[in-house]
């Protein structure tokens, strides 16, 4: 899976960055911030058990003339 491979690459890069820049607090702060931005954010909110999720319907994009 692609997400697993990306996670593995980030962990590898994390070791390299920490080894090279571990004594520089500013760069490490920037790296930690960037490292946590990988991938979409995950919500821990669960939908109500009595309310089924409604799929989003996607239709064609309609462009109307200005005239």
Examine residue 58 and state whether it is found in any structural domain, yes or no: no
Q: What's the pLDDT at 36?
A: 77
> For residue 47, is pLDDT > 60?
no
* Count of domains for the chain: 1
Examine residue 53 and state whether it is found in any structural domain, yes or no: no
Q: Of all residues in the chain, what percent are helix, strand and coil, respectively (each to 5)? A: 45, 0, 55
Q: Give the mean model confidence (pLDDT) for residues 1-10.
A: 86
Tell me the average pLDDT of the chain. Answer: 75
Examine residue 55 and state whether it is found in any structural domain, yes or no: no
Nearest to 29 by CA among 40, 38, 17: 17
Q: Give the mean model confidence (pLDDT) for residues 31-38.
A: 79
Examine residue 49 and state whether it is found in any structural domain, yes or no: no
Nearest to 3 by CA among 38, 32, 45: 38
What's this model's pTM, rounded to 2 decimal places? Answer: 0.48
Examine residue 52 and state whether it is found in any structural domain, yes or no: no
Q: What percent of the chain shows pLDDT beyond 70?
A: 54
Domain that holds residue 17: 2-35
Measured between alpha carbons, how far is 61 from 67 in angstroms, rounded to an integer?
Answer: 18
Examine residue 46 and state whether it is found in any structural domain, yes or no: no
């Amino acid at each position: 899976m692609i997400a697993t491979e990306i996670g593995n690459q980030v962990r590898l890069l994390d070791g390299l960055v920490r080894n090279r820049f571990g004594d520089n607090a500013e760069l490490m702060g920037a790296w930690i911030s960037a490292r946590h931005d990988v991938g979409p954010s995950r919500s821990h909110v669960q939908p109500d058990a009595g309310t089924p999720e409604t799929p989003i319907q996607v239709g064609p994009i309609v462009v109307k003339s200005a005239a």
